[in-house]
Amino acid sequence: MQTGGLLGSGRSADVFAIDDHWVLRRYRDGGDVSAEAAVMAYLAEHEYPVPRLRNPASAGGSTAPRTDLVMQRLHGPSMLQALLKGMLTAEEAGAGLAGLLHRLHSVPARVSDDPVDRILHLDLHPDNVMLTSDGLMVIDWRNTQEGPPGLDWGMSALILAQVAVGNTALATPARAVLASLLAHLDPAISLGSTDSGCLAEARKRRAADPSMSESETHLLDEAVELILELTPSRP
Ligand SMILES: Nc1ncnc2c1ncn2[C@@H]1O[C@H](COP(=O)(O)OP(=O)(O)O)[C@@H](O)[C@H]1O
Ligand SMILES: [Mg+2]
């Protein structure tokens, strides 16, 4: 397919402009987009803020591996860029992420019969949210699965906490966004403790993530401690 310039490049995919309305997202490692395409089409039907697919009818309908996804081009900065430019406060960013998680978990599961399960994003952090004129939109559904909502909260918190306990310039804003996210934690959610529950499961998954560097993995214990410290205690 003829494409225009590279719009963005994350850990696993390159995103090219097709025109003003559409982008092509392509996995560099040959990953298959079928599962996430089916989830994105379903979420769009439920009015969740995801980019529209150009061809939603074929989402999940083909068994052939597909590395390419054509979707609505979003215009605007990522939540991370907006935060760093001062267009958004850390409190607003954390509240925004919490709102997106809460909304996502209010959509009925697509495949699971377990009444607890919902669609989870499992990588919802400020670089996977874009600020558009239609509000916040969630991209990068590569890790999506169904499961208990607490796992999604645990993953988002852990991603922020790993940055917060690191020694990059993003540590301070990440800590403030994390504090805000946890202040808005859905009262129905329990993250568990160091050893059990959703946060422990999130830690296990992050530790097994091959895209994480060794220095990032080393920060996991400290990150879990920070989350437990910042989680508001409930009566
Ligand atoms: N629908 C879109 N419209 C405009 N830009 C996008 C869109 N989707 C992704 N991008 C850009 O491409 C980057 C990488 O996309 P993403 O889906 O997050 O891939 P990765 O899995 O590699 O992180 C994003 O940070 C963003 O800048
Ligand atoms: Mg991404």
Mean pLDDT of all residues in 176-189 = 96
pLDDT in tens, 12-67: 899 999 999 999 999 988 888 999 999 999 999 999 999 999 987 666 555 555 88
Domain end marker among 18, 42, 72: 72
Nearest bound ligand to the CA of residue 142: 1
Total domains in the chain come to 2
pLDDT of 24 reads 94
235 inside domain: no
Cα 52 versus chain centre, distance: 17
Distances (CA, A) of 170 to 9, 36, 58, 156, 162: 19, 29, 40, 16, 10
pLDDT of 2 reads 54
SS3 label, residue 192: coil
Domain end marker among 72, 90, 105: 72
| Ligand 1 lined by 73 (C-beta under 6 Å) | yes
By the CB criterion, residues less than 5 angstroms from ion ligand 2 are 10, 128, 140
Q: Which residue has the tokens 């430019």?
A: 85
**Closest Cα to atom 9 of ligand 1:** 15
Q: Which mutation among 6, 25, 127 tests ligand 1's pocket best, with the greatest number of atoms within 8 A of CB?
A: 25
Question: Mean pLDDT of all residues in the chain?
Answer: 93
pLDDT of 114 reads 98
| Ligand 1 lined by 152 (C-beta under 6 Å) | no
Domain end marker among 72, 93, 112: 72
201 inside domain: yes
Which residues constitute the domain of residue 66? 6-72
Residues 85 and 129 in one domain: yes
1 inside domain: no
pLDDT in tens, 90-145: 999 999 999 999 999 999 999 999 999 999 999 999 999 999 999 999 999 999 99
